[in-house]
Structure 1
């Protein structure tokens, strides 16, 4: 009896203990399902991305050397041209301008005025020649008298000086007559509109030929049709599509870390593969541009050289849009965690570390960041598992239950 009673008491005690343990377990908070990722050491790059425009490095614009009528363009956009051989434009003399009734009357009056001036100049020339003849005769007579000794030598010298002055007046009258005749010709030219001479045109041709300044293709023709152009007007633009560069207008805050020689890669350019490029020039001053949201932005122009051979970037042409990724910083061995694991606590960066199945708050020092990962400078060791997406339910001491295998999650984060 005593043994049986002791057995019943022990059984009851065990049942009570089990009931108490079950009650305690039921009252404990349930573990929180989380994604745990191990801190890793791996290469890291800081990349600044922006849209850019591909453009031909050097373009040559052919302009009209003289005012005239440019004939219909012998070339079209896309035509291949050879330097100093292919004719890209033809210019013929311009037709004289039409004269309205008032302008014609003014031109006719100017011609009549020029004719009257010629008559006056002719009369002045006749008078100067007559005066010269008279003085020359006087000098001859004075010379004979001087030889006989009946005339002072000073009188002969005065007469000779008067002859010299008369010759000068005769020459001036002759020059004035030629000037008046030239003026008459100019006035008559304005009235009648004679043919305009051709500049540097071969004798057997009617037009001035303009040839391509360099080999390449025609990028732009100002107008295919014949028309009147002024000297200096652009006609045709020529360039070499193989000689491309990339222009990027980068935010000034991002451009601070970009220097000459910074590497870059270009994707989303329309073709297969990724193109390699290198920064050739960073302009020293920025400009203001208003974004689509109406925000004023300071942009810095960058110019990049395309390093990928032409055979691997076929189809990329002038003024094509591309997407440029600039590598502003990179290291081969960097301790890093997902950015999603970080949050601010007491003004410092912090994260939750898994310690024996529970969450532990850990403050860390953060360095550079990429789109997915953040560099950890101190406060964490490689291999420690952190909560990738901490929520409000996680606090210090919270029980954690992994939702994933650590290795799979690490691979997923790396692939992202």
Structure 2
């Protein structure tokens, strides 16, 4: 039978219609966004609000029950060591034999604290001497091309920390000396006849007046806080971390201090992770276990001279760093029982891949095994994505 052109045209048209119908019923590709697995630096950090505080501060209290005369100083004034701060008129009628015994005990305790402070000063002085020697030794090795830059940085940090500890020990010794003088003044007031002798309270150390609890004159009980003295140059930062985060922070952990009112990011280091936590109720009414962490500021004073006592800052604790880390966006990963999974793009289709994930910082996650550099992964897979589903990239 001879096939005519008309029959050929009808046959071709019929086949085209069938193909169009089949193509119309095929599932359309799922639009997806993708990214590539890349090797880059990765940091894992913990961010928490904190506030500044003067590291070495001293609260001046009334040594005896009496009448405090009006304080002439103002908050922020600079005071020198042994400068008169205020005067108090003892009230002998309120002084009992028991109070006299307590004052005697306080005098003895102050002498023991002075001895303890002297021992601490001697120890910190020896630690500073050894730290300086170690810094000089490592500096010599580094100059000869033997030592590492990291070792030199650690030695500089140790020497700086030792110097700060010695300065704090000297401050503690000055405070102990002042406590002895205050206790002596209290004992002398017990022997004053008629309460005519006024006691002059002097500054134990030089610094600035941070707070004045009682400006006006009036009667106060022994031990009532009157004012606080401190050195604003010795600022530190205190941040209360969740206990689950605090266990990842150690002494010496690097800290970035930011959002304190300037675009400048300050360098800091963890000095103390306190061994005892406390319970705090969050703004949502949830009980949280918090642990206080104290951070020393390492940046020069010129960079943060606008900061004062009790200012808000944000501390970013760097708990892990890696220079060449294979990583993908964290949004591309999902749980598969006890493993992690993601989807790759292969020839226009999604392919399921099981991987081993490592560290993550919220935005990116380290891939330890199961993926190669440069492979294309889906960044936000949804319930429509399955193994073998056709996809269309729409970045």
TM over 0.5: yes
Q: CA deviation at 1:243?
A: 0.8
Structure 2 equivalent of residue 277 of structure 1: 268
* 1:21 aligned residue (19, 22, 28): 19
* Other-structure match for 2:44: 46
TM-score (norm 1): 0.67
Residue in 1 aligned with 2:61?
A: 63
The equivalent position to 2:253 in structure 1, one of 240, 251, 262, is 262
Partner of 1:187: none
Contact 1:96 1:194 in 2 (8 A): no
SS at match of 1:42: strand
Q: Which residue of 2 aligns with 1:311?
A: 302
| CA distance in structure 2 between the partners assigned to 1:197 and 1:71 by the alignment | 14
Structure 2 counterpart SS, 1:396: coil
Question: What secondary structure does 1:257 align onto?
Answer: coil
Q: Distance in 1 between matches of 2:34 and 2:388?
A: 16
* Cα distance in 2 between the residues matched to 1:362 and 1:239: 60
Unpaired segments of 5 or more residues in structure 1?
98-192, 199-206, 405-416
Q: 1:39 touches 1:337 (CA, 8 Å); kept in 2?
A: yes
Show CA shifts across 1:99-141 (max 9, x none): xxxxxxxxxxxxxxxxxxxxxxxxxxxxxxxxxxxxxxxxxxx
Contact in 2 for aligned 1:66/1:231 (Cα 8 Å): yes
* Cα offset, 1:253, TM superposition: 1.1
Q: C-alpha displacement at 1:9, in angstroms?
A: 4.1
SS at structure 2 position matched to 1:18: helix
Give the CA deviation at 1:294: 3.1
Alignment of 1:66-81 (within 5 A): 66-81=64-79
Q: What residue number does 1:233 align with?
A: 224
Trace 1:17-416 onto structure 2 (pairs within 5 A): 17-85=15-83, 87-94=84-91, 195-198=194-197, 207-404=198-395
Distance, in Å, in 1 between the alignment partners of 2:263 and 2:35 is: 34
Structure 1 residue 197 displacement after superposition: 4.8
After superposition, give the CA deviation of every residue in 1:326-380 in whole Å (9 maximum; x if it has no partner): 1111111111111111112344211111010101111111111112111111111
Q: Is the contact made by 2:89 and 2:196 (CA closer than 8 Å) also made in structure 1?
A: no
Return the alpha-carbon distance in structure 1 between the equivalents of residues 193 and 52 of structure 2. Answer: 50
Q: For each residue in 1:198-219, what CA deviation from the matched residue of structure 2 results, as whole angstroms up to 9, or x when unmatched?
A: 2xxxxxxxx4332222222111
Deviation at 1:56, TM superposition (A): 0.4
Measured in 2, the distance between the counterparts of 1:376 and 1:194 equals 81
State whether residues 89 and 235 of structure 1, in contact with CA within 8 Å, keep that contact through their aligned partners in structure 2: no
Secondary structure of residue in 1 paired with 2:233: coil
- TM-score w.r.t. the length of structure 2 is 0.70
- How has the CA–CA distance of structure 1 residues 54 and 11 changed in structure 2, closer, same or farther, with 3 Å as cutoff? same
Q: How far apart, in 2, do the equivalents of 1:370 and 1:194 lie?
A: 71
Contact 1:43 1:330 in 2 (8 A): yes
1:222–1:41 distance in 2 versus 1, CA, 3 Å: same
Segments of structure 2 that go 5 or more residues without pairing to the other structure are 95-191
Mark the CA change 1:309 to 1:379 in structure 2 (over 3 Å): closer, same or farther.
Answer: same
What are the Cα deviations for residues 362-413 of structure 1, in whole angstroms up to 9, with x where unaligned?
1111111112111111111111111111111111111111111xxxxxxxxx
Q: Distance in 2 between the 1:260 and 1:346 partners?
A: 37
Query: Which digits, 9 at most, give the CA deviation of each residue in 1:12-36, with x for residues without a partner?
Result: 4433333332222212111111101
* Cα-to-partner distance string for 1:35-81 (whole Å, 9 max, x where unaligned): 01111111111111112121000111223334432210011212121
Would you say the 8 A contact 1:42–1:333 is kept in 2? yes
Tell me if structure 1 keeps the 8 A contact 2:277–2:290: yes
After superposition, the Cα gap between the structure-2 partners of 1:66 and 1:209, relative to the gap in structure 1 and judged at 3 Å, is same
RMSD over aligned Cα, in angstroms? 2.2
Call closer, same or farther: CA 1:12–1:45 in 2, change over 3 Å.
Answer: same
Count of aligned positions: 298
Larger radius of gyration: 1
